[in-house]
Amino acid sequence: METFVNIAIPVALIMVLAAAVLSLALPLIKSLGEPKVLLKSLLGVAAIAVVFLIGWAIAGDEVTAKYASQGITESGSKLVGGALTTMYILFILAVIGIVFSEFNKALK
C-alpha cells in the first residue's frame, strides 16, 4: 500500500498542475481569435492589479518581535497586508454591486 501512495501522490500532483495550466492556457488560446474578448480580460486583470497596488501602498510593513522570530520580513508583511486589503476592497465592491443590482431590479 505504501508504494501505491508513493506513486499516486506525484501522479496526482502532476495531474493537478496540468489541469491548472490547461485551464489557463486553453481560454487564452481561444480568445486569441477574438481580440475584443482578450482586451476585456486584460482590462479586468489590470483593474485587479491596480486595486492590489492601492492595497499594497496603504498596507503597513510593521513586524512585531513575535513575527520576526518566525522569519516574517517587512516586505513579506507588506505583501500580505496588501493582499488582505485587496480582498477587503474587492469584497466591499462586490457587496455594493449586489445591493445596487437588487435596488435596480426593485425599481424596474
The string of pLDDT tens digits covering residues 42-80 is 899 999 999 999 999 998 888 888 888 888 888 888 999
Cell matching residue 29: 488560446
Taking a C-beta distance cutoff of 8 angstroms, is the pair 99, 64 a contact?
A: no
At 5-19, the pLDDT tens digits run 889 999 999 999 999
Domain ranges of the chain: 1-33, 35-108
The residue behind cell 454591486 is 97
What per-residue string of b and e applies to 93-107 under the rule 16 or more CB within 10 Å gives b? eeeeeeeeeeeeeee
Rounded to an integer, what distance in angstroms lies between the CA atom of residue 7 and that of residue 16? 15
The pTM assigned to this predicted structure is 0.66
Those residues whose C-beta lies under 8 Å from the C-beta of residue 63, and which sit 6 or more positions away, are 72, 73, 74, 77
